[in-house]
Amino acid sequence: MSITVRAAAKINLHLGVGRARDDGFHPLDTVYQAIGIHDDLSLADAGDLTLTTLVADHIDPAVVPDGSDNIVLRAARLLAERSGRKPTGAFEVRKDIPVAGGMAGGSADAAAALVACDRLWGLGTPDDDLLAMAAELGSDIPFSLVGGTARGVGRGELVTPVDDRGAWWWVAVPAPVGLSTPVVYRHFDTMRPDAPEVPAPADALLAALASGEPVRLARALHNDLQEPAIDLRPELGELIALGEAEGALRGIVSGSGPTVVFLCDSAEGARETAASLAGAGHEVVLTATGPVAGAHVVA
Ligand SMILES: C[C@](O)(CO)[C@H](O)COP(=O)(O)OP(=O)(O)OC[C@H]1O[C@@H](n2ccc(N)nc2=O)[C@H](O)[C@@H]1O
Ligand SMILES: Nc1ncnc2c1ncn2[C@@H]1O[C@H](COP(=O)(O)OP(=O)(O)OP(=O)(O)O)[C@@H](O)[C@H]1O
């Protein structure tokens, strides 16, 4: 028997970051959206636990760990341990989500692995237990299970769906070389020694989502990690300016970067912006709509 689970990339429409907590994590007030760029993970019955990764043309296979460091195997081992069984199965992951791009690609795979193992192993794990295991594995992973559009607080792991009346069009431009999330957070600490204990609230963004109006959403997009990401990679600032000059309503760094996402007013607008950016020499330009579902079984 085998099962296939699809998991989506995320972007942060609002990312308010507070001063680092005693455990080193930063308190967040964020609004995530799952968008239509996804990884597919298949799991087939097997006596051992194995993993094969296949990557889209725009991903360098060398940047995806294929050994036990891969978060897919860590997720499988955690669920097996908690349910008192041996972790078994042959995983195949097809990656389309940029790696170390600020789009939670590894988190999507971990969420997909939890769902696939739970189903193939016939565990019927309660949702709250899966969400707790997801949070242990990484701050973004509970959202990758839930999908749609949701607010995240705590270190990002406490997720609640929010009212979103839009069908939004995005253009995503990944960078050839990824950025490390902890490095960007540390750079935030250096640049913002005055960061507030309580992160910037998402109220304006939540109101814009409920309105369904792209121009209003464009105005409300906010990312406290954008400044440190641009300071580490100044070309991201130039890319944002270019996309906005080419018709996007607004460009913003996705999470900790370096992927830049552009909100467009329509499918046509997204196609035009994508074509202009590709024409300007950006080799990888992806178009996607959001919100889409969290990790779910497709076959
Ligand atoms: C930048 C975001 O993608 C925005 O959604 C996330 O905050 C990152 O989430 P993630 O990659 O799932 O992060 P984790 O795997 O939990 O943590 C990786 C590292 O990121 C930093 N980290 C992460 C989340 C958080 N709220 N504060 C942090 O400082 C810490 O240095 C941590 O060691
Ligand atoms: N299945 C996986 N896919 C991608 N990267 C993985 C995977 N498993 C482990 N990794 C490691 O995790 C690192 C971060 O990868 P990921 O693509 O999740 O970053 P990200 O999109 O920036 O994450 P986030 O947005 O959650 O901060 C990679 O550099 C890689 O070494």
- DSSP notation for 80-126: HHHHTS---EEEEEEE-SPTTSSS-HHHHHHHHHHHHHHHHTT----
Same domain, yes or no, for 10 and 148?
Answer: yes
Tell me the pLDDT of the chain (299 aa) as tens digits. Answer: 999 999 999 999 999 999 999 999 999 999 999 999 999 999 999 999 999 999 999 999 999 998 889 999 999 999 999 999 999 999 999 999 999 999 999 999 999 999 999 999 999 999 999 999 999 999 999 999 999 999 999 999 999 999 999 999 999 999 999 999 999 999 999 999 999 999 999 999 999 999 999 999 999 999 999 999 999 999 999 999 999 999 999 999 999 999 999 999 999 999 999 999 999 999 999 999 999 999 999 98
Q: Is residue 150 part of a domain?
A: yes
Nearest atom (ligand 2) to Cα of 255: 25
List binding-site positions. Answer: 98-108
List binding-site positions for ATP. Answer: 98-108
Where residue 286 sits, what CATH number does that domain have?
3.30.70.890
Write the residue with the smallest CA distance to atom 28 of ligand 2: 100
**What is the CA(46)–ligand 1 centre distance, in A?**
33
10 is catalytic: yes
Residue among 180, 185, 222, 227 whose CB has most ligand 1 atoms within 8 A, to mutate: 185
Q: ipTM score of the complex?
A: 0.97
pTM exceeds 0.80, yes or no? yes
Same domain, yes or no, for 39 and 186?
Answer: no
Q: Which domain holds residue 229?
A: 168-290
Same domain, yes or no, for 197 and 249?
Answer: yes
Which of 104, 128, 162 is the last residue in one of the domains?
162
